[in-house]
Amino acid sequence: MKQKKLKVGFDFDGVILYNPARVLRPFLGYLRGKRKKNGKTTLVFYHPTKPLEKWFWWLAHQSSLFPSSGLDDVRTMVKDNSIDAYIITGRSSFLKPDFQSRLRSIGSEKFIKESFISDSNEQPHEFKAKKIRELGLDCYVEDNWNIAQYLAKNTKARIFWLSNVADYHFDYPDKYLNFSNIVAEIRKMI
C-alpha cells in the first residue's frame, strides 16, 4: 500500500532562506507583546505603518541571504512525489514584491505547490495557523519560538521549531538547530 503524500509547510525567512540575524530575535522581544482577546492573553506582533518603519522592516528582511542547507533535499522529496511543499510567511503585505522576487530567486515554481503571504496584515501566528488548518498540513517548520508554540497548540500539524544558539534553552519537543536535521526528520515521516 502506497504511503500518502505528506503536506509540508515552511516559513520563509529563517527557514527556506537562511537568516543569520535570527539569533537576535530573543533580544528583540519589544517587537512582540501580549494582549487580551476574548478574555485570553494572546501574542501580538509589531506591524510597521509609517514609511520609515517600513523601510527599516524591509531592510531587516534583507538579512535572509541565501537558500538554507537542506533545501535541495526538500526539492528532491517534491521531485520524488513524497511531499507537497508550501510556504506560509508572516511578512507584512508591503513586502510582497520582495517576497515574490526572492521566491523566483530560489526557483520556487519548480518545487513549491503554493506560497502565501497575508494581504490583510493579519497577525503572523494567526495567519499561519489559519493556512495550516485550511491546507490540512501534516507538518510545518517555523523559526520563531512564540509562533511555534502557538501553532503547536492551535493546529493538528506537527510543528518543527528551527531554533538557534540564543534561544535553544527554551523547552520544545521538536527543536532543531539546523534545517537539514528537520528535513531528515520529515523524510522519516514519509
Phi, psi of 157 (to 5 degrees): -70, 155
Judge whether residue 58 has pLDDT over 90: no
DSSP-derived letter for residue 10 is E
Q: Is 16 helix (H, G, I), strand (E, B) or coil?
A: coil
pLDDT for the residue 126 = 97
Judge whether residue 41 has pLDDT over 80: no
Q: What is the pLDDT of residues 163-178, one digit of tens each?
A: 988 888 899 999 999 9
What is the CATH T-level fold of the domain 6-189, as seen in this structure? Answer: Rossmann fold (3.40.50)
Judge whether residue 38 has pLDDT over 70: no
pLDDT for the residue 167 = 86
Instruction: Confirm if 17 and 102 have CB atoms less than 8 A apart.
Output: yes
Band of the pLDDT at 188, cuts 50, 70, 90? very high
Average pLDDT, the chain: 89
Report residue 116 CA to chain centroid gap: 11
Residues 24, 60, 30: CA angle, nearest 5 degrees: 50
DSSP-derived letter for residue 70 is T
Judge whether residue 42 has pLDDT over 70: yes
CB atoms within 10 A of CB 185: 15
Residues 25, 52, 98: CA angle, nearest 5 degrees: 65
Q: Strand 66-67 to strand 17-18: parallel, antiparallel, or no bridges (unpaired)?
A: antiparallel
- 149 versus 60: which is more confidently predicted? 149
Band of the pLDDT at 45, cuts 50, 70, 90? confident
C-alpha cell at 165: 544558539
pLDDT for the residue 92 = 93
Band of the pLDDT at 110, cuts 50, 70, 90? very high
* pTM of this structure: 0.89
DSSP-derived letter for residue 120 is T
Band of the pLDDT at 89, cuts 50, 70, 90? very high
Q: What is the pLDDT of residues 2-37, one digit of tens each?
A: 578 999 999 999 999 988 765 555 545 544 455 545
- 18 versus 38: which is more confidently predicted? 18
